[in-house]
Homo-oligomer: A and B are copies of this chain.
């Protein structure tokens, strides 16, 4: 592999220029901005490495789909060519779509999530082809265009192309170093179900002197919410707990062995204590095994300065459920609807936003073992293995649903500011990530 390493080490200028060009193209799915141009650019960059590429239609943005190589093993790669909106623009130290290097970091929207990983993987494959000959396995590459808006068409896409997407393992879009700086692998993601609850009880806001007789939507919503989760943070929705899979002793042991700096997390957010005064071990288990019900937003009536004596006609709350097996978005919606109806809150409307299933792969899967070997070779230590990320993503349709084990391994780090101003990657991690990809391909093909 020395020639492979040398090729990578001697092409930094060319690779960085290509990466910057890739990041300079806006591709904001939420605003349908630059999407066609970005899909064409992704296609072109894959074709430059010899991939046979098609733009496969979905109900929304097309999937850029590429195939290259041959061998007994097939590797599915998932990335996405869309990015989060860059707002608030004023908080960026350099413009979001003018990639800028400062202090060994490359700042741009999409650098960490996830164009950096995409280009890193393409350039590693270029180096392989230039120094090692043809790929020792078949790569099937899905680059979708709707990840940042909840991948509303990915499940249907995966069903429609189930045969074509068959693979022995899947390398997921991102990953990298944990908050302690250790190279880490994640074997899945929590699911998510996001709802808005709306209650409108009056045609018009009323003077609050009518408080003795007119129903108040804000109070009703408070009482309804109070039945969903109690002050001990337990989710109280009827039948919910039955669908929360208990972690196995092996999973608990795995999580208990993980590094975790509770004080660092508390200090990052400025809180003296976790929920229920959890200690570090309890907090760590909660992060990986507990489903959540988070109030993301709450709004009713007058929220400006000072006072307004108003009885609001309506109230709204945004709720984010993070799901562990075997909760699903449909199941959560149905349980929530029944729970509210059973308590006289049938007039609360539930608006559904796109949900995602949780996804989990076994630690002994080939794709995981190959990533562990490649991690040892490049980072000089055993990767830390997490059962799942506490966040969510559209892994389920391409992994659990198609029966393909998946692993999250990439070039980002804690503090990369994905989704926020000044998103960035560390360039040394990028160069190291290219080597990881070569070692990973070699290990996976050889299994």
Contact = CB atoms under 8 A, between A and B. Distances in A.
A308 interface: yes
B307 A301 contact: no
A258 interface: no
Interface residues of A, number: 87
Interface in A262-305: 265, 269-271, 273-275, 278, 283, 286-287, 290, 292-305
Interface in A393-440: 417-421
Contacts of A233: 219
Nearest to A306: B30
Interface string A170-207: 00000000000000000000101010000001111111
Given A211-B293, A271-B202, A274-B214, A307 B318 contact: yes
B215 A274 contact: yes
B301 A298 contact: yes
A312 interface: yes
A84 B308 contact: yes
A207 B283 contact: no
A390 interface: yes
Contacts of A349: none
A286 B194 contact: no
A307 B299 contact: no
A308 B30 contact: yes
B308 A207 contact: no
Interface string A343-381: 000000000010000000000000000000000000000
Contacts of A296: 208, 301-302, 307-312
A283 B211 CA distance: 11
A194 to B, nearest CB: 5
Contact of A310 (B225, B226, B300, B419): B419
A166 interface: no
Given A229-B219, A270-B203, A391-B207, A297 B302 contact: yes
A250 interface: no
A214 B307 contact: no
Contact of A231 (B85, B223, B230, B275): B223
Interface string A217-247: 0111111011001110100000000000000
A209 interface: yes
Interface string A315-329: 110101010000000
Given A308-B318, A320-B208, A297 B286 contact: no
Interface in A36-50: none
A96 interface: no
A150 interface: yes
A74 interface: no
A286 B222 contact: no
Contacts of A283: 212-213
A271 B201 contact: yes
Given A211-B294, A299-B300, A303-B318, 13 more contacts: A31-B306, A87-B302, A202-B270, A205-B420, A209-B390, A212-B286, A213-B274, A296-B308, A297-B303, A297-B310, A299-B299, A301-B318, A302-B318
Name the 5 nearest CB pairs between A and B, nearest first.
A203-B270, A211-B292, A209-B391, A212-B286, A218-B295
